[in-house]
Structure 1
């Protein structure tokens, strides 16, 4: 029955943290682009496409972290201590928070790369003017970089998750 509670805790935590991460991402994007909520409608599909690419990128990167968290939970479950639930919440929250920060850094790097590739295009202005071609190009480059960098991010996160002790034989 203890495993059932761990699974339910993991689901609830993943949903809550995902909602918080996506809400924060969305609000940051609105501030960065100087856009009001009501401006994201059929009148500006370019911004909607670009924001969707960023949110997909964040979700995809964070989805790679979930198996690492589950492995850490299974390991903590084996070493069942008094503060097992506190450790689970601590490691899960830190992994998702660090993953969110790294996802933001990857997205910022992708945007800088895009700016250097397209020197004569003012991407933000074009997105505000509903230029779908720019939105699709930016989203595609961002998603491609996300696909390439996901495994490296997961590897980095796994370095800080609890690991079993290994006995070395000489």
Structure 2
């Protein structure tokens, strides 16, 4: 059994879980404060399915966009862990790079979703989407949810390119990963 590989896998699971929960919770809180027309918590308590669909779409869109930052960051972080020659400083540098990359991706994702909701609702002036969703109009919620998820799918490669340009990973040789 390869103990370093096992440790790396366990650490990847823990980091993914923590990052996922933090981003989902932060996303829920962020949009709770930004979408003034709907009090999501109160509407969810009233069993408002349309609000649940909208919130679920926002969470899924966040995960889709941030996933591109999490996967490579955790991969590089796990390679640093498996490297027997890695120093504590290099470990901290990798952790810092990973954290900055994930935070930047999250900020971009939050802004993109917020803009998508606002632009789409502005373009469709004939329909008050958020008012309809507050009134439990499931059809409107599904359409707005699909718009949000579609935007996230279209933007995920762009976010990856921005992150690659802003926060390039240091070059890693075979020696760095212990080969």
Q: After the TM superposition, which residues 76-95 of structure 1 pair with which residues of structure 2 at under 5 Å, given as runs?
A: 76=80, 80-95=86-101
TM-score (structure 1 length as normaliser): 0.83
TM-score (structure 2 length as normaliser): 0.79
Q: How many residues align?
A: 166
Partner of 1:105: 111
Partner of 1:32: 34
Structure 1, 3-12 or 114-123: larger mean CA deviation:
3-12
Structure 1, 11-20 or 24-33: larger mean CA deviation:
24-33
Q: After the TM superposition, which residues 137-156 of structure 1 pair with which residues of structure 2 at under 5 Å, given as runs?
A: 137-156=143-162
- The CA deviation at 1:20 is 1.2
- Decide whether the 8 Å contact of 2:8 with 2:78 is kept in 1: no
In the superposition, relative to structure 1, how do residues 98 and 139 fare at CA in structure 2: closer, same or farther (>3 Å)? same
Distance 1:136 1:36 in 2: 16
- The CA deviation at 1:29 is 2.6
Distance 1:120 1:131 in 2: 15
- Structure 2 unaligned spans of 5+: 174-179
In the superposition, relative to structure 1, how do residues 140 and 36 fare at CA in structure 2: closer, same or farther (>3 Å)? closer
| CA deviation map 1:70-113 (0-9, x unaligned) | 34336646672232332232122212111110111110221133
- Decide whether the 8 Å contact of 1:46 with 1:132 is kept in 2: yes
Partner of 1:12: 14
- Decide whether the 8 Å contact of 2:50 with 2:141 is kept in 1: yes
Partner of 1:54: 58
Partner of 1:161: 168
- The CA deviation at 1:153 is 0.6
Distance 2:68 2:172 in 1: 24
In the superposition, relative to structure 1, how do residues 56 and 26 fare at CA in structure 2: closer, same or farther (>3 Å)? same
RMSD: 2.4
- Structure 1 unaligned spans of 5+: none
In the superposition, relative to structure 1, how do residues 148 and 163 fare at CA in structure 2: closer, same or farther (>3 Å)? same
Distance 2:101 2:133 in 1: 33
